[in-house]
Structure 1
Amino acid sequence: MSQCLNPDCLQPNSKTTIFCQKCGSKLLLTDRYRALKILGQGGFGRTFLAVDEHKPSQPYCVIKQFLPQAQGTNNQQKAEELFQQEAIQLEQLGKHQQIPELFAYFIQDHRQYLVQEYIEGQNLAQELAQSGAFSETKIVNLLGDLLPVLAFIHQKPLIHRDIKPENIIRRKSDNKFVLVDFGAAKAATRTALAVTGTVIGSAGYVAPEQALGKPTFASDLYSLGVTCIHLLTNKEPFDLFDVSEGDWVWRDYLTVKVNNTLGQVLDKLLQQGTKKRFQTAQEVLEALQLTEKPISPPTPQPDIELKSAKGVNYEQLEQFLKAGSWKEADEETANKMLEVAERTKEGWLRVEDIDKFPCEDLRTIDQLWVKYSNGRFGFSVQKRIYESLGGTLSYEEKAWEAFGDQVGWRVYGNWLYYDQLRFNLTVKDGHLPLWGYWGRVVAGCGGWLSGAALLSHRDL
């Protein structure tokens, strides 16, 4: 289907049509982008799912059409400025894996258009409606994943000014949180911050100083805090604020457990006074104990001979690791270990499979991980941590849990699911590889036993 973009028509057409069969409007924007269907509509315009017909694979993209609802000359002019500003801000931000990439900005048929990357997935408002209140672990994961994105934005320096569940999408491909809608973003120069500006933001999430037209970086952190308590309670922000006391009462609406550390962080994010809040995203990460060690530049190391007692090819694993594709490398590690043990069909390894695992293959896998992570990941790194915590060949629950805490597989006493874990160099030493402990290599109680056996292997 090809969607007509004329606001007075919006007639669906066949996918190969060049001109709308009803109104005669041209269906291809800049002879390249074809709208397929309407995704949504807001105060500034409509968004369409589209395809880029200039590329052989015709990938999806998003078309934003400027179509303001506000009346009056001044409102119209301000809306036009904000729409154009979104394109400028996205261009200035450059490429970030958790911010939609800007593809194009242009005017056609006297209307402004912006074309950007399509993020497949649900926004957090949709996820909340579908799944109910978020758990403590999900909130910590959200903060750990999104705060570095805010730090990146603030360094540009920009203030997003519209952090809310609808503007955070959990990307379907990797469960990463993507921050969208930069139409309200504001350049945070010293001069700009000193001048009272237009009040922008979503009611309920806006920081007090932003409501007065004076946003700061801490304003985004406040909005993120409101977003978190909304997700934790499944209650609208207005219901969580006691106007007579001038304070947040979000704990009164909790149906899930929240530990003291997270609770104190949220309370500080929600402070009415700007100076009483966290001032930077990094401060929040430190308070949550999610700060990461500085990454040292890699030290050149000799090539590793890809030995295998079973004739297994490790070239693809090396390519993934060399490219920093940690999740793909993790999955490839599991596949190769299953292949070596001739357990691909079963999809998991037993303790006896670990005991008999050829030393050549185990060392090859470990050396590749150690080399390309600059000594931060690998079975031998995990073994060193495991043994320092009292871990032995025999599975002991306390040692295994302490190990999970140390490498970041557990948060506040809860084991994370595989899709909640992060695959980048900001994680803790020993965090990877891990697919074997959670997925196809080992499973259930036997998984912990096999994990202990692996980290106690004589050849590491």
Structure 2
Amino acid sequence: SYQLSVISYQLSVISYQLSVISYQLSVISYQLSVISLLLTETSSLSLFELTMSLCLNPDCLYNNDPTDKFCQKCRFQLLLKDRYRAIKLIGQGGFGKTFQAIDEDKPSKPYCVIKQFFPSAQGSNALKKAAELFKEEAISLDNLGQHPQIPSLYAYFTSNDGRQYLVQEYIEGENLEQELQSEGVFNEEKIKHLLLEILPILDFIHAKRVIHRDIKPANIIRRRSDNKIILVDFGASKFMPIANLSLTGTVIGSAGYIAPEQSNGKAINSSDLYSLGVTCIYLLTGISPFELFDVSEHEWVWRQHLINNPVSVELGKILDKLIEFGTKKRYQSAGEVLQELAVKLAFVIPPKPRSQNTIQETVLPAFPAATREEINLKSAKEIDYTNLRDFLAQEKWQEADQETANLFLKVADRTKEKYLKIEDIDNFPCEDLATINQLWLKYSQGKFGISVQKRIYESLGGSSNYDQQKWNAFGTKVGWRVNNKWLYYDQITFSLKAPWGHLPTLVWGVGGGIILFSRLETCAMDGVSSRG
């Protein structure tokens, strides 16, 4: 009986121990599920990063447990504004340190970037200027961060320790310097794509009177989620005075990429274009800008370093003009470069996304009623034109304009590249060209369409040979050029109040419009009606 009671007691002890083990296993399982959830929600966060909190004290930078509120080494408060937790030092320079961080206030614990003002400059004047530039970066991001290819500003403040901080959107991806090292030199196609994406960004910031002043591969990131180009690091950016855009200022920029006038403290819009040009020739060659320039002859020799990487004459001329030393010889605006790209490389520049600020009310003038005749939506490539038809029928002119550009790319199988080659236009199917043109003619009562634009161009003496003066006159006639300046896309009038031939803007964006007009004529000669 005694032995049975002992055995019973031992079994109860074992049962208790098993229950304890079961509880511990359930705790471990729960912890693993939490870690799994965190890893899922924070995408590429490593387990190490989830279990650390980097001290923001510039003299410490100790790695702490994420549950600690204060640094275990120096007692510095770890959570910036009780919200942002630094996990990794990702950069440091003359103005301070940059940290990758986690926003603890949001359930998904997303990444963000903390920039800490901690200048290496000495002297009161230098420190004051550095502080001003740091503040200017925050102001720039606040003004520009609404652009989808510029990081958003989350916060800017002075902490209890007296240091300035800004918190901004984290862009996950490689910068172009890293991409060059991992994938090798860029070919012409990649340079075209780069120009097509970054020039509209520069056009945007320059319109806001901001000069970036530090365009270089390391400040251009290819976002991993959508492969878009993102322009970062506005720490050197400068607001342009309205009265005088070339006032002497502080010399800011990166050696090798800085424009001559900028090195004298006189940065202007085209200074950014110069830096972009140098960026392009560096990416094409993989050679330092210093070695691409012959000091004794005072000229660029980048073509000598193209190894099995040919560049067309047309693109080469554009790059040469970007890196001209004389500001008057250089392109004056990003829009001008885009226009040159359009003319020489037959680009289709996709319209910007519709913005509430650019929506215009459609007011119908007294045009004759549109024909009731149904248009046969023929396509040699089995393209669906119902969206274009519906947009036009509903007088949604901007959507129709965007759809037209996208359809041209789709027909030519160039959607990924985002531009057309001259041969793409030369070989564009007549059936598709006629369908697009007829739809525009029908729903605009004959006011808009490629054939309308062709007639206007020819009435001004335009021919198949490109003539800049006549092309400019054509741009003025159809309302794309005002006061001797080409308009930006957000200045286009999406209304029947616009001048004849104002839409679609495909010809304006293609620049190879002359070739398109020629193709339209060829198609008509082949017996395919354009109804124009």
- TM more than 0.5: yes
1:263 counterpart residue number: 316
Other-structure match for 1:232: 284
- In structure 2, relative to structure 1, the CA distance for the partners of 1:254 and 1:20 (3 Å cut) is same
Partners of 1:32 and 1:9 in 2: CA distance: 20
Match of 2:399 in 1: 374
Call closer, same or farther: CA 1:2–1:281 in 2, change over 3 Å. same
- Which of the two has higher C-alpha Rg? 2
1:175 is displaced (CA, Å) by 1.0
- SS of alignment partner, residue 7 of structure 1: coil
Correspondence for 1:19? 70
Among 104, 123, 130, which residue is 1:79 paired with? 130
Aligned letter for 2:130? Answer: A
Q: Kindly state the Cα deviation for residue 176 of structure 1 after the two structures are TM-superposed.
A: 0.9
* 1:205 pairs with 2:257: yes
Determine if contact 1:106/1:114 at 8 Å carries over to the other structure.
Answer: yes
1:134 aligns with 2:186: yes
The reply on whether 1:105 has 2:144 as its aligned counterpart is no
* Secondary structure class of the residue paired with 2:328: helix
CA drift of 1:36 comes to 1.2
Cα distance in 1 for residues equivalent to 2:299 and 2:409: 48
Alignment of 1:306-455 (within 5 A): 374-376=399-401, 382=407, 402-403=427-428
Q: Residues 216-273 of structure 1, C-alpha deviation per residue, up to 9 Å, x if partnerless?
A: 1111100100000010000000000111111100000012110011100000011110
Question: Shift in Å at residue 68 of structure 1?
Answer: 1.3
Moved more, 36-45 or 287-296: 287-296
Q: May I ask how many residue pairs the two structures share in their alignment?
A: 346
Between stretches 373-382 and 75-84, larger displacement belongs to 373-382
1:402 Cα deviation from its structure 2 partner = 3.4
- Asked whether the equivalents of residues 89 and 99 of structure 2 are also in contact (C-alpha less than 8 Å), the reply is yes
**2:326 aligned residue:** 273
Find the residue that maps to 2:86 and give its secondary structure: strand
Among residues 341, 344, 356, which one is paired with 1:288 in the alignment? 341
TM-score for the superposition, normalised by structure 1: 0.68
Aligned AA (1:143): L
Give the C-alpha shift of residue 146 in structure 1: 0.2
Q: Tell me what 2:457 maps to.
A: none
3-state SS, counterpart of residue 98 of structure 2: strand
* Offset, 1:190: 3.6
C-alpha distance 172-293 of structure 1, shift in aligned 2 (>3 A): closer
Partner letter of residue 183 of structure 1?
Answer: G
Q: How far apart, CA to CA, are the structure 2 residues paired with 1:399 and 1:122?
A: 32
Cα distance change, pair 267–103 in 1 and its aligned pair in 2 (3 A): same
Query: How far apart, CA to CA, are the structure 2 residues paired with 1:287 and 1:232?
Result: 20
What residue is the counterpart of 1:56 in the other structure? 107
Contact 1:293 1:428 in 2 (8 A): no
- Structure 2's unaligned 5+ residue stretches are 1-51, 353-357, 363-380, 413-422, 434-488, 493-503, 508-532
Tell me by how many angstroms 1:10 deviates.
0.8
Helix, strand or coil: the match of 1:145? helix
Q: Which amino acid aligns with 1:189?
A: P
Distance 1:226 1:380 in 2: 30
Which sits farther off after the overlay, 363-372 or 82-91?
363-372
Change (3 A) 1:369 1:143: same
| Partner Cα distance (2:97, 2:239) in 1 | 25
User: Structure 2 vs 1, CA of residues 252 and 32 (structure 1 numbering), >3 Å: closer, same or farther?
Assistant: same
Q: Is the 8 A contact 2:404 2:506 kept in 1?
A: no
Q: Which stretch shifts more, 16-25 or 202-211?
A: 16-25
Amino acid at match of 1:267: D
Structure 2 Cα separation of the partners of residues 380 and 210 of structure 1? 38
- Alignment-derived partner of residue 241 in structure 1: 293
What is the DSSP-based 3-state SS (H/G/I as helix, E as strand, rest coil) of the residue aligned with 2:67? coil
Separation in 2 of the partners of 1:129 and 1:368?
47
- What SS does the aligned partner of 1:237 have? coil
d(CA) in 2 for partners of 1:386 and 1:178?
29
Output one character per residue of 1:390-435: Cα deviation in whole Å (capped at 9) or x when no partner. xxxxxxxx8799349x99xxxxxxxxxxxxxxxx9999869xxxxx
Question: What amino acid is the match of 1:130?
Answer: S
Q: Do 2:99 and 2:115's aligned partners in 1 also have CA atoms closer than 8 Å?
A: yes
Q: 1:50-86 deviations in whole A, cap 9, x for unaligned?
A: 1112222222110001111222332222211111111
1:131-154 Cα distance to aligned partner (Å, 9 max, x none): 111010000100000000000000
Is 1:268–1:278's contact at 8 Å kept on the other side of the alignment? yes
Q: Secondary structure at the match of 1:174?
A: coil
Contact 1:35 1:48 in 2 (8 A): yes
Quote the Cα distance in structure 2 between the aligned partners of 1:101 and 1:176: 15
Q: 2:201 aligns with which of 138, 143, 149?
A: 149
1:1-34 C-alpha deviation (Å, 9 max, x unpaired)? 2111111111111222211111111111111111
SS in 2 for 1:62: strand
Q: Give the secondary-structure state (helix, strand or coil) at the position aligned to 1:193.
A: coil
Q: Secondary structure at the match of 2:262?
A: helix
Residue in structure 2 matching 1:118, options 163, 170, 175: 170
C-alpha RMSD over aligned residues? 3.5
Is 1:3 matched with 2:54?
Answer: yes
Counterpart residue number, 1:339: none
Distance 1:4 1:138, change over 3 A: same
Q: Which amino acid aligns with 1:104?
A: A
Is 2:193 aligned against 1:168? Answer: no
Cα–Cα, structure 1 residues 268 and 107, in superposed 2: closer, same or farther, change >3 Å? same
SS in 1 for 2:116: strand
TM (norm. structure 2) is 0.59
